[in-house]
Structure 1
């Protein structure tokens, strides 16, 4: 790690002998550890500025390119790009459980509070991680979930802003049972991610991003999100703090679905923070918005360090907040 590179990087062998590309944002004497879970058709390299801000405040970050995406997908031992987007929630939840345990190996992080943060697809997976501990799902274990001191979820893929046709979704789910690895188009417009046109251009031209998905992966995202809203919210650990963040002009995932999850979930410490006018990637919004989000997330974590999962009401327990984004 150099002064111009705020992270160390390495490939680490995880579940099914997958070699995961990882980044660790180190901090001297870290007070907490954040496990970062990225979204669909993207990679952790797109959030260097955001993750670095946590390390600067004493919160180490362990991030990894998920199975089938980013540099993990490009690794020769993982298929050299031929298995792009070939994944499933069952595999991804196992991978995230591995990441929690691997992150605790980071120097100085063995005994510090662990938080998880997921964006978009990663946001839905972060919610699923703490609600799918029943016998039908081998991963994650209740023991691993109990290691978490809080979860931050931004723009989760619960329901699309423009939901998929129900008939097409039903057909896709059935096809995924017999041909799970078949690749289909899955387009996310770069211009829908941020008000900053440079973000959209970089996304569109990113050589690590391909606008496709596997039948199994897409079916799991669509069905898993709906299941979170319809039933799995009931399984949320009551004592696990939850911060939900969403932009009200998100063109990709529905902020109203996030609001419904917040309204339904039973948690001693929960907060919904809506960014008025923001698009899908608030951490990439211009005009100081991404800095506001980073500050909110960092201070939320800091407020929960001394009392583990019993933060005071003044820190945002069971609260809704709307952040006006006047320049967007």
Structure 2
């Protein structure tokens, strides 16, 4: 796969001296840069083909395994690392994840200073990308990092769950997260809810880097964060910053209706929502509707190209 879609990997020391696994796709003469944020119980190696196809169209991609996930948290066998700054699998929080994303945006801009930078994220990562742009004066992220973003591309963003926890359950998770923030518990997303592609189901079953474990603080934060985005934070969207949302209409994990509602409320004039008929939670791994991955790659490429003006932001 690396021969077909070339990339480089490196461990970088980020916030809290955490060693983050990073991956860079650097095509010859790129016209734009995407910083990509993966989802919950997820990691960047699951996106090789999708990212590789986008990069072949002339867009550089910088991505990383988030704090508490993938090879930032565990080794290839799934065993937790004991690095400085690494608490273990799923032991994270939104303030930390937003601080990490702030650092990654600045780092990626430093690597490609002349390219316009776009944020793209899937599921929890899509929610983080929306939060990054709607925090207003709250930090993190820093105003400097937010100013570097030329547009936002959420894929099935976690704003609301399709089948949400009850109010009492949610209150209990929130309460327990304050008492035991890094306590973990088993989580389960039925693999058939991710995609119609049974080959992806089998790949997920043997993936040591995707562990069905949640941390109390991380789960509480991402659910509360989604609520906040839709209830009030959308008002902080930076001017007419471009936005394009992709969401499958048969997503049983994150609610496409919440994406539609955010789209309706956010004030930017340069906005578009693409509802993918019949697609489930991971349209970038889908076979329904036919050709959906190629369609997304082409639409993202053309959307970015139309907004790819040379970066004048400097840190």
TM-score bracket, normalised by the shorter chain, equals over 0.9
Q: What do the CA deviations read for 1:5-40 (whole angstroms, capped 9, x no partner)?
A: 510001000000000001100111221110000000
Q: What do the CA deviations read for 1:41-86 (whole angstroms, capped 9, x no partner)?
A: 0100000011111211111000100000000001534379861000
Q: Which residue of 2 aligns with 1:73?
A: 73
Distance 2:110 2:8 in 1: 14
Distance 1:65 1:305 in 2: 26
Q: What do the CA deviations read for 1:180-214 (whole angstroms, capped 9, x no partner)?
A: 00101221111111110111221122111111111
Q: Which residue of 2 aligns with 1:296?
A: 299
Q: Which residue of 1 aligns with 2:17?
A: 17
Distance 1:87 1:70 in 2: 13
The question of whether the paired residues in 1 share the 8 Å contact of 2:115 and 2:310 is answered with: no
Number of aligned residue pairs = 305
Matching of residues 197-276 of structure 1 within 5 Å: 197-276=198-277
Q: Which residue of 2 aligns with 1:127?
A: 130
Unaligned residue ranges in structure 2 (runs of 5+): 76-80
Residue 227 to residue 36, structure 1, CA distance change in 2 (3 Å): same
Distance 1:155 1:290 in 2: 14
Report deviation, 1:138: 2.6
Matching of residues 1-328 of structure 1 within 5 Å: 3-4=3-4, 6-74=6-74, 76-78=81-83, 83-106=88-111, 109-134=112-137, 137-286=138-287, 287-306=290-309
Distance 1:307 1:74 in 2: 38
The question of whether the paired residues in 2 share the 8 Å contact of 1:74 and 1:80 is answered with: no
Distance 1:105 1:49 in 2: 25
The question of whether the paired residues in 1 share the 8 Å contact of 2:181 and 2:217 is answered with: yes
The question of whether the paired residues in 1 share the 8 Å contact of 2:17 and 2:85 is answered with: no
Report deviation, 1:4: 3.9
Distance 2:164 2:131 in 1: 20
Q: Which runs of 4+ in 1 moved over 6 A?
A: 79-82
The question of whether the paired residues in 2 share the 8 Å contact of 1:70 and 1:208 is answered with: yes
Unaligned residue ranges in structure 1 (runs of 5+): 309-328
What secondary structure does 1:245 align onto?
strand
Q: What do the CA deviations read for 1:233-281 (whole angstroms, capped 9, x no partner)?
A: 1111122100011000001110000000000110021101100110000
The question of whether the paired residues in 2 share the 8 Å contact of 1:73 and 1:79 is answered with: no
Residue 65 to residue 188, structure 1, CA distance change in 2 (3 Å): same
**TM-score computed with the length of structure 1 as normaliser:** 0.89
